[in-house]
Amino acid sequence: MSSAVLGLPAPPFLDDSLSSTSNNSNTGGGGSPEDANRVQMKPSVNGYKWRLLISYDGTHYAGWQYQVSPPTIQCFLEKALIRATKMERKDLCLVGAGRTDAGVHALGQVAHFVTPFNYESLESIHAALNGLLPADIRVREISPAVPEFHARFSAEGKVYHYKIYNDAVMDPLQRHFAYHSACKLNAAVMRESARHFVGKHDFSAFANASQNDGVPNPVKNVFRFDVIEMGALLQLEVEGSGFLYRQVRNMVALLLQVGREALPPDIVPKILATRDRKELAKYALSVPPHGLCLVDVKYNRDLLRLPSDCPTGSFGSHHTISKCKLPFY
């Protein structure tokens, strides 16, 4: 058995070299359909790349991006990876798809890290990571990734949900995950107004200043913006090519004012046209972070193909009891 299979350091493969296996329609060569969807990778100085699918309750964290105090999601995940892989933080090169803000949750955050060695199976490290992480952070899936995959820069779209609990009395079980609006909201006019966000626009008027990204391109493409009623809960679902800093929360804030019938539905294109954040501030303040959740990150399917020399992904495993040792009474 090779040292790579044992989980020991093995010859790494090239990040910038990728040759696809022949995806012939003739299956007589002995390859299975799963093998046909794998890609063959060559040796690289950067080692093996692994993709993580992560969920977390962001209530007690200062967002995703690494900092020691107050703690962040990335900080806890890196500590768990350091213990599980016996590697240094700088060598793991952990990168997340979205740098969620303090108090924001995630159901489908994506990240990647690298190791100089391969794994025979990912179930053990998957279980180890979840055993080391606090209960409000969980790795839902770990899988090998092709060298070209990058959790942040390969993303082609993101889906966010913002929940509003619209009733006179707040449901205490929703208090960490939904914004409470005691004022009755008109979901129909909110839906009408949300349609004005769909399409490619300059969203400068809906972006807060960020020191991390320099001057990002303010033109973003919003694919859909749905307002869904679920009893007292209103779920605002927005999908787009990407979002500026606090853009989603600022769009929701304006829709709340429309839902309260304090503003007309066609206020959206008027504010978009100004490209001025100060113009939005005249009508709405940003909503709090706890109603927001990063639900999904979209990638080109070719970048999600499994490498041929790595194990299959791990989705977690159920514990089973083969024999009950307690007496029956």
Note whether 157 and 108 are within 8 A (CB).
Answer: no
Could you give the CA distance from residue 78 to residue 91 in angstroms, rounded to a whole number?
11
CA distances from 313 to 80, 96, 110 (A): 19, 18, 14
Identify which of 285, 230, 231 has the alpha carbon closest to the alpha carbon of residue 260: 285
Q: Compute, in degrees rounded to 10, the torsion defined by CA atoms 297, 78, 135, 323.
A: 100
Which of these is catalytic: 101, 171, 202, 296?
101
DSSP 117: B
Note whether 180 and 165 are within 8 A (CB).
Answer: yes
Could you give the CA distance from residue 305 to residue 146 in angstroms, rounded to a whole number?
7
Could you give the CA distance from residue 294 to residue 106 in angstroms, rounded to a whole number?
4
Tokens matching residue 70: 């107050």
Classify burial at 120, counting beta carbons within 10 Å of its beta carbon; exposed 0-12, middle 13-18, buried 19 or more.
Answer: middle
Q: Note if 101 is an active site residue.
A: yes
CA 82 to chain centre: 21
- The residues pairing with 145 across neighbouring beta strands, listed in sequence order, are 49
- Buried-exposed string 186-213: b where 16+ CB fall within 10 A, e elsewhere: ebebbbbbbebbbeebebbbbbeeeeee
Q: Compute, in degrees rounded to 10, the torsion defined by CA atoms 40, 43, 45, 49.
A: 30
Could you give the CA distance from residue 61 to residue 96 in angstroms, rounded to a whole number?
15
> Active-site residue numbers?
101
